[in-house]
Amino acid sequence: MPRACCRVVGYSRALELGNKLVTTPAVKLARYWFLMSAAYGQKHHALQDARAPEVELLSTRRAALDAVQKTVQLDANYKARLLALAEASAYDSDLQDFATSDDFLRIVR
């Protein structure tokens, strides 16, 4: 069993792969940004739980909101899906930290 310090968290791998695709045509796909927003949302939640430094939380929050914005710019039909990810009781609640964020709600409504 791998040591806890060396374990790769799911969102870390998703962000690693996503960042490798940032110079490819993938960035023209709403699906790419939707997945990135979910990964950044997961990271934000993990950082919040770990009581990470505020600067790190703010940076991750901005990355998540930027990804949400790009998703909607490319395909407004993703608004409902993004809103669904903000429901804390949902199976996939990757954006739950943003459920009451005015910035988030402005984008998805």
Contacts of 35 (CB under 8 A, 6+ apart): 14, 18
Q: Mean pLDDT score of the chain, rounded to an integer?
A: 92
Give me the average pLDDT of each 10-residue run along the chain (109 residues). 50 95 97 98 95 97 98 98 96 96 98
pTM: 0.90
pLDDT of residue 9: 78
Residue 45: other Cβ atoms inside 10 A: 20
